Amino acid sequence: MPSQKNISYLEKTKEKLKESTALYFTDFTGLSVKSLEKLRTELKKNNGNYVVLKNTLGFLALKDLGYDENETKQLFVGPTGIVIAFEDPIALAKIIASHKDLKIKGSFIEGKYCTREGVIEFSRIPSKDALYAQLVGSLNMLGNLVGVCEGILRSFISTVEALKKKEAK
């Protein structure tokens, strides 16, 4: 029979995990306390969190939330820390991919399982701000194209009107 302490801890953990947009599973072996604190600070700045769970409790929490048992089971082998993204999962993927001593095991991004390689590829996607900047740049280019087309059309109309006047004489 599970203890009341474990039951309440499991419930609190499930609440945290339920609010997430992405969960990144890591092995923190070899990471110094200083590095781990630096990582946690970076994650908090980007609306994320880093929790270390007992494997059994973590597995049960994810199972109760409806995650696939087989995928989940392979993530809870050895020391496991979970990076929880509450907003922008790309920003946190970039942070954990940049920490060389942190070993990525896999993730669930918006409920879909990703391998270690998938997380690394995901981290290469430009940030939300960079994508917005690209979109604005594209819209500016579209505006310029409209201006050029308008100029060409104006010239064409002027030419047609000049020909019309010439024939009328």
* Pair 97, 104: CB distance under 8 Å: yes
Whether residue 4 has pLDDT greater than 90: no
What's the whole-number mean pLDDT along residues 133-146?
A: 82
Q: What count of other Cβ atoms lies within 10 Å of the Cβ of residue 51?
A: 15
Question: At what angle are helices 4-18 and 55-64 packed, to 10 degrees?
Answer: 60
Stated pTM of the model: 0.75
DSSP-assigned states of every residue in 68-136: -HHHHHHHSSSS-EEEEESS-HHHHHHHHHH-TTSEEEEEEETTEEEEHHHHHHHHTSPPHHHHHHHHH
What's the whole-number mean pLDDT along residues 113-122?
A: 89
Q: Which residues contact 35 (CB under 8 A, 6 or more apart)?
A: 99, 101
CA nearest neighbour of 94 among 45, 132, 138: 45
CA distances from 71 to 30, 56, 63 (A): 25, 14, 10
pLDDT of 1: 59
* Pair 2, 61: CB distance under 8 Å: no
What's the whole-number mean pLDDT along residues 20-43?
A: 90
Whether residue 56 has pLDDT greater than 90: no
What's the whole-number mean pLDDT along residues 59-73?
A: 88
Label residue 25 by pLDDT band (50, 70, 90). Answer: very high
Candidate from 38-52, 93-107, 141-155 with smallest mean pLDDT: 141-155
pLDDT of 108: 92
Whether residue 126 has pLDDT greater than 90: no
Between 1 and 144, residue with greater pLDDT: 144
pLDDT of 19: 87
DSSP designation for 54: -
pLDDT-above-70 percentage for the chain: 99
